[in-house]
Amino acid sequence: MPEVTKEQIQAAIKEYVEPDLERDLVSANCVKDIAIDGDTAKVKVELGYPAAGSAERLAAAVKERVLGVPGIAKADVEISCQVQAHSVQKALKPIDNVKNIIAVASGKGGVGKSTTAVNLALALAAEGATVGLLDADIYGPSQPRMLGVSGQPESKDGSSLEPMQSHGLQVMSIGLLIDEETPMIWRGPMVTQALEQLLNDTNWSELDYLVIDLPPGTGDTQLTLAQKVPVSGAVIVTTPQDIALLDARKGLKMFQKVEVPVLGIVENMSIHICSKCGHEEHIFGEGGGERMAKQYGVRLLGSLPLNAHIREETDNGNPTVAAQPESRVTEIYREIARRTAAKLSLQAKDYAARFPRIVIQND
């Protein structure tokens, strides 16, 4: 029998389309090495996104394809993850110590954007990434309560802030700097300036992802923030009802306008399951997020149920992903996190950080 070639192994792996990536591993440039020793093949796969929850499944799928190659009796598959920095809007520079910023937005309030943002951040961390969360909703900062964080952030040098820590996340919010019941009676420019300061003057520590919970809506404040914050990608949160989808479309178009890639749509409160009898009911309509995703050529990252536990847990400072790590809802959040990060991993990389800064000094 002729010797097995790397090309044969590669062709076999190419037949498997990874569900989170929606691409095969070869064309996504994730297969880093193939070594063949007699009837044994060793394959090294390096993903550009955290995937603790799917690594086992992925290794088994690759192994199955490799063992299907005639002449191969044993296959070893090694899965690793390396998150890279991705490019941002042309006129902006990335934030120090932050590889990627993911903006979570909604066209209107009341669709569960902040709940989705905090659970997305926790899910990315559960998948193996180093994650921060910036509460940019200046008028209604809710993340301190959702994460059970209180007290004021420390400043070691008098000019920058140390992020608070909660459930493994680095957290910053205007809500940590003011009294919880103090209304923010600020005009647009003050809001933008406050957010820029929170973003730039926080000592983030080597983050793979910084999730930003943006204010709801698509007005001047949101547009300015989208233009001034160096974002690698955005996630749009909506509910299935037509009025929410109408506003979500505006949010999607706003990001397209400022050249921020939309990574996908999360459909919240998609179905209600009765806690007494198990009856399923689409209270806010059905399939709206999927139709919108198809219309604009973006991915439906996932659909979340209308669930009393989600609200109760976030109200108590212990969001679902942290409170119930083995639950089906947490599984959905983690699927959404992997799909979001996988989509981002396919985008253009930012190589600026790899090059040394050259400083010319006159003696």
Read off the CATH number of the domain in which 115 is found.
Answer: 3.40.50.300
Q: Give the CATH number, domain containing residue 61.
A: 3.30.300.130
C-alpha span between 261 and 167 (Å, rounded) = 29
Residue 286 has pLDDT above 70, yes or no: no
Co-location of 72 and 183 in the same domain: no
Confidence of residue 207 (pLDDT cuts 50, 70, 90): very high
Q: 172 with 226, same domain?
A: yes
Please name which of 53, 59, 61 lies closest in space to residue 76, comparing C-alpha atoms: 59
Q: Are residues 182 and 117 in the same domain?
A: yes
* pLDDT band of 152, cuts 50, 70, 90: confident
Is the residue at 358 inside a domain?
Answer: no
Tell me the residue range of the domain where 255 lies.
98-345
Report DSSP state, residue 48: S
The verdict on whether residue 233 carries a ligand-binding annotation is no
Does residue 76 sit in the same domain as residue 214? no
3-state helix, strand, coil in the chain (%, to 5): 35, 20, 45
Asked whether residue 63 is marked as a ligand-binding residue, the answer is no
Banded model confidence at residue 113, pLDDT cuts 50, 70, 90:
confident
Same domain, 130 and 241: yes
Task: Note the pLDDT tens digit of each residue in 170-200.
Answer: 999 887 877 656 655 556 567 777 778 888 8
Instruction: Tell me which residue of 81, 83, 45, 38 sits closest to 61, measured CA to CA.
Output: 45
Domain count, the chain: 2
The verdict on 259 and 218 lying in the same domain is: yes
- State yes or no: 44 annotated in a binding site: no
113 annotated ligand binder: yes
pLDDT tens for each residue of 245-268: 676 777 787 887 778 888 998 988
Say yes or no: 239 and 264 in one domain: yes
The pLDDT of residue 154 is 85
Looking at the fold, whether 150 and 249 belong to one and the same domain comes out as yes
Q: Greater confidence, 307 or 352?
A: 307
pLDDT at 5 over 90: no
Q: Is residue 336 part of a domain?
A: yes
Q: How far apart are CA 89 and CA 220, in angstroms?
A: 18
More confident residue, 274 or 82: 82
Inter-residue long-range contacts of 179-182, CB under 8 Å, 24+ positions, other chains counted: 180/144, 180/145
Has 111 been labeled as part of a binding site? Answer: yes
Does 201 reside within a domain?
Answer: yes
Residue 142 marked in a binding site:
no
Q: Which residue has the higher pLDDT, 203 or 226?
A: 203
Q: Does residue 86 sit within a domain?
A: no
| Domain match, 259 and 185 both | yes
Shared domain for 290 and 153, answered yes or no, is yes
Specify if 133 maps to a domain.
Answer: yes
The structure's pTM equals: 0.87
Of these ranges, 127-136, 227-236, 352-361, the one predicted with the greatest mean pLDDT is 127-136
